[in-house]
Amino acid sequence: MSDEVKQYSLEEIKEHNTAESVWCIYKNGVYDITHYIDEHPGGGEQLLDAAGGDLTAEFDDFGHSDNALQILKKLKIGELRMEDRVKGKKTENKEKSKGCCAIM
């Protein structure tokens, strides 16, 4: 059995955005949460809203328990490929620098 971690593109993850197949990103990890939807204590609707996207901010902002992190860990199927991580950070940095100016 290979120890190699499966890499997924943003495009692949975005395709899994229905109740039949729910994938999401958390801290660059890719998770298949399809079968967890009905078990989620906060209701499945919140997870469906994040389907195909990155739920890192929402997950961290809510302050989930260690138990929630353990459940998430079991649902991990791979990692977001490096090219897409870089792409997101470059876009984020461009957005942050739009209002930048130099004062002399």
- Count structural domains, the chain: 1
Amino acid in position 84:
D
Q: Residue 74: which CATH number?
A: 3.10.120.10
Q: Indicate whether 24 belongs to any domain.
A: yes
Q: Indicate whether 98 belongs to any domain.
A: no
Q: What is the pTM of this model?
A: 0.76
Task: Say how far residue 57 (Cα) sits from the centre of its chain.
Answer: 9
Q: Indicate whether 51 belongs to any domain.
A: yes
pLDDT of residue 99: 44
Q: Indicate whether 103 belongs to any domain.
A: no
DSSP H or E segment with residue 73: helix 66-74
Q: Indicate whether 1 belongs to any domain.
A: no
CA-to-CA distance for 31 and 59, rounded, in angstroms? 13
31, 25 Cβ separation under 8 angstroms = yes
Q: Indicate whether 29 belongs to any domain.
A: yes
pLDDT digits over 3-40, tens only? 688 999 999 999 999 999 999 999 999 999 999 888 88
Confidence of residue 87 (pLDDT cuts 50, 70, 90): low
CA-to-CA distance for 94 and 59, rounded, in angstroms? 25
**What domain range is 16 assigned to?**
7-85
As given in the structure block, the two tokens for residue 95 are: 């957005």
